[in-house]
Amino acid sequence: MSENSTTRPEAPARESAFRHELYPYDGDAQFLDGAMSFIHDAHAGSELVLVAVAESKERMLRTELEGTDAAEGVTFLDTAALGRNPGRLIPAWRDWVSKAAEGHPVRGISEPSWSEPSAAESSEFGYHEWLLNLAFTQSPAWWLLCPYDTAALEPAALESARRCHPMLLSGGSHGPNSSYVQEPYAFPELTASADHEELPYQRGRLAAVRAHITACASRYGLKGTRLSELLIAACEVAGNSIKHGGGRGVLRTWVEGADLICEFHDSGHLQDPLVGRLRPTVDQVGGRGLWLVQQLCDLVQIRSTAQTGTTVRLHTRLPG
């Protein structure tokens, strides 16, 4: 289906102690120069650094750090364990920032760890960058440096990054980013394949949803644990439609690139742009469904307005 591009979660309302800084670089030498300068500055201020980058960049940094005093204050995040879904990144950074609340000043370095992202992955990572400003509005003070390879990324991805980072590292200097725009987020339009299959659902029809997805997945060799995880996620989303989205919805399925897409649409409205991206607390009542969905799927796209309803698109990577 086509989702209206005016879906616009509101921007943070006030200043934050969170420093979110863009670092455009060209080539490995510039990457190392900026990242190592950032790490050495952190070491001078007794700040811990968490690094979340691709394996190749991690190897370069480890080589540069070997034998230095600064190495003791640097931790590398296993980004492979998080997968390609940026919806899982904010909880990892919140866990790290909790160290600041324990009296340990912290910094971070974050760059997408996957190569050749799909258009959907690039779009959702751009949204993740915008959500970081919202997620850490009331956090302890900390500093996140986001390197972007100007030679490898599409111009649209760089333009989106410039609009989402209040700070900029350029020419060795840290300062305000004049391209930053503090305004509601505007999503690119979501469009479904013309070849999609469609199934309306309502209360008592979850078995039909499972059967529909299973039949579609089987045609492309998706089975076993990955199929089970998709079915759990799908039933969570369909169940939310029935409980909170007007009692009914429409499921659409198709294959896009290497992914099986399961898209759910209903008339409900999700008002919290961080829904599903914050780890539920032990005493929390409800609100765990979309968190679980983010953990089970390779990518999750959520679009919601009071006017157009809610669309939740689940991506599952097909075997091979």
CATH number at residue 44: 3.40.50.300
60 lies in some domain: yes
Which of 176, 209, 233 delimits the end of a domain?
176
Q: Are residues 144 and 230 in the same domain?
A: no
190 lies in some domain: no
Q: Which helix (H) or strand (E) holds 263?
A: strand 259-266
258 lies in some domain: yes
With CA atoms as reference, report the closest residue to 238 among 287, 289, 286, 163: 289
Encode the chain (320 residues) as per-residue pLDDT tens digits: 333 333 456 655 445 699 999 999 999 999 999 999 999 999 999 999 999 999 999 999 999 999 999 999 999 998 887 888 999 999 999 999 999 889 999 999 999 887 788 889 988 999 999 999 999 998 999 999 999 999 988 888 899 999 999 999 999 999 999 999 988 888 888 888 889 999 999 999 999 999 999 999 999 999 999 999 999 999 999 999 999 889 999 999 999 999 999 999 999 999 999 999 999 888 776 678 999 999 999 999 999 999 999 999 999 999 98
Q: Are residues 233 and 294 in the same domain?
A: yes
**pLDDT of 165:** 97
Cβ proximity of 164 and 129 under 8 Å = yes
Opening angle at CA 28, ends 27 and 29, nearest 5? 95
CA-to-CA distance for 15 and 319, rounded, in angstroms?
45
Q: Which helix (H) or strand (E) holds 249?
A: strand 248-256
Which of 111, 144, 176 delimits the end of a domain?
176
Which of 176, 205, 231 delimits the end of a domain?
176
Domain that holds residue 150: 18-176
Bridge partners of 107, per DSSP, are: 49, 143
**pLDDT of 118:** 87
Give φ, ψ of 203 to 5 degrees. Answer: -55, 135
183 lies in some domain: no
Q: Are residues 139 and 103 in the same domain?
A: yes
Q: Are residues 153 and 265 in the same domain?
A: no
Q: Are residues 171 and 279 in the same domain?
A: no
Task: Kindly provide the residue ranges of all beta strands, DSSP E only, lying in 113-244, ordered along the sequence.
Answer: 142-149, 167-170, 173-176, 197-202
With CA atoms as reference, report the closest residue to 235 among 256, 219, 249, 246: 249
Q: Is the dihedral of CA 51, 53, 59, 61 positive or negative?
A: negative
7 lies in some domain: no
Opening angle at CA 94, ends 102 and 162, nearest 5? 125
Cβ proximity of 201 and 251 under 8 Å = yes
188 lies in some domain: no
Q: Are residues 43 and 105 in the same domain?
A: yes
Q: Are residues 62 and 151 in the same domain?
A: yes
Label residue 139 exposed, middle or buried (CB < 10 Å: 0-12, 13-18, 19+). Answer: middle
Q: Which helix (H) or strand (E) holds 256?
A: strand 248-256
Q: Are residues 66 and 121 in the same domain?
A: yes
Cβ proximity of 109 and 53 under 8 Å = yes
Cβ proximity of 164 and 136 under 8 Å = no
Q: Give, to the nearest 10 degrees, the angle between helix 155-164 and helix 119-135.
A: 10
Q: Are residues 171 and 237 in the same domain?
A: no
Quick one: CA torsion of 263, 267, 268, 273, rounded to 10 degrees? 50
* CATH number, residue 276: 3.30.565.10
Q: Are residues 80 and 42 in the same domain?
A: yes
Domains in the chain, number: 2
Q: DSSP string of 53-110?
A: --HHHHHHHHHHHTTSGGGGGEEE--HHHHTT-GGGHHHHHHHHHHHHHTT--EEEEE
Q: Are residues 201 and 304 in the same domain?
A: yes
CA-to-CA distance for 293 and 228, rounded, in angstroms?
12
Cβ proximity of 206 and 239 under 8 Å = yes
184 lies in some domain: no
Q: Are residues 144 and 43 in the same domain?
A: yes
Residue length of the chain: 320
11 lies in some domain: no
